[in-house]
Amino acid sequence: MSNQALSIPNSFPPFDLTRLLKTVFEPQKGERACVLIDLDDPTQVQDFAFLQDPALTVQKYAHDIFYQGLNNGVGHELGLTGGEFYAYKKTGGSNLDMDDLVMDTQGRRLSFEKDIYPKYDIILCISTYSATAPLTASAKKHGFRGATLHGLNEVILQTGLAVDYNEVSKQAEKLRLGLTKSDWVEIDYEVAGKSCTLHLDLGRQEAQKSHGLCRGKTPDVANLPAGEVYFVPTGGSGQMPMKFEDGTLAILDIEGGRQVGGSFLSGNLKKFQEHVAKLQRDPVTGELGELGFGTQLLPFSGRDIQDEKILGTIHVATGRSDHLGGHLTPDKFAERINATHDDILYAPHKTPEIQVKQVRMHRNGTTTVVMENYRPTEYLAQLLA
């Protein structure tokens, strides 16, 4: 397969909730499912009052596609029971623990620990902020399976959730085998006329994959859309550029696997200074907790949940890593609000100011270039052949 053959399909099959849930979970007859959303005011779930707010597009998809789908034939077709709809208070950050309070559509105050986690087999969380980390921890404790679909929009619905996850899993495995047990990965960047390199130690660990399949009796939570190969770095050094939400650009210094400070480039100086102050106040917030490679051929959606899964993109995350097999749990942060897992996505549409000139991996005594200028090299293309 040539590199040119790795192009986005011209069309995707129509979205089919039955096919998606059947492929991802292979539900067994009688298993109980529910839908979760997050709201600033969870009481607005009573009588579906939140549907009157046009800004709550993600939550509306949760209601119109998943809740109504489950209760209007899909649940019966798959042999699922339940189909209830709940809301919890927005956490305010990626992968922060949720409060225990849950509200149902009748206005009753319930508990995640007592009323939700122990009583459902499949939990679908369609939210503003990712809940993958806290739900994964709770799944291991209570034995359920689930999926997180934060930031859902129409592009994701019609592309990233319309694909065959059996094929996504196969493709992810091909790339996983080509990257696993690496000694290290280095990323060469160029931003604002400056060059820098990030070195990530991987310790010959077994690479993991997010492939969208969450079947059987093993408690687990799929992050959908799926399609990535990832590592939890064992260390890191060098420098990495960072584009903040407001467009501020900086180069962060990496020592001992953590961001420790850096250099301001452009934008809002105060934003950069606040980030450095947080690193000093709560050092684990800057710990590098993930290196991820996208594996799918999808259009950019404007939402990281899909865009980080696209072949040719790469992401480095800071903070919480226990849901990926890392050691950094919420109790190790000085402040609860800082216990996030934040993906720093490098992609041509999101970070056009930052060039990923080259990505190299070293394993079995050989250094191999795997990406250049946001494109997979022939090495990755051949793995997918």
What is the mean predicted confidence (pLDDT) over 244-265? 97
* Whole-number average pLDDT of the chain: 96
- Are the C-beta atoms of 87 and 44 separated by less than 8 Å? yes
Residue 232 CA to residue 1 CA, distance in Å, equals 30
Residue 92, number of CB atoms within 10 A of its CB: 12
- Are the C-beta atoms of 241 and 189 separated by less than 8 Å? yes
Chain segment 234-245, per-residue pLDDT in tens: 999 999 999 999
- Report domain extents, the chain: 17-159, 164-383
Residue 117, number of CB atoms within 10 A of its CB: 20
- Are the C-beta atoms of 230 and 215 separated by less than 8 Å? no
**DSSP conformational letter for 12:** -
Residue 170 CA to residue 24 CA, distance in Å, equals 13
> Within its chain, how far is the Cα of 17 from the centroid?
20
Local confidence band at 2 (pLDDT 50, 70, 90 cut-offs): very low
Tell me, what's the pLDDT at 5?
A: 58
Structure tokens at 381: 């293309």
Residue 174 CA to residue 376 CA, distance in Å, equals 14
Structure tokens at 90: 């927005």
Chain segment 320-375, per-residue pLDDT in tens: 999 999 999 999 999 999 999 999 999 999 999 999 999 999 999 999 999 999 99
Structure tokens at 36: 């979760």
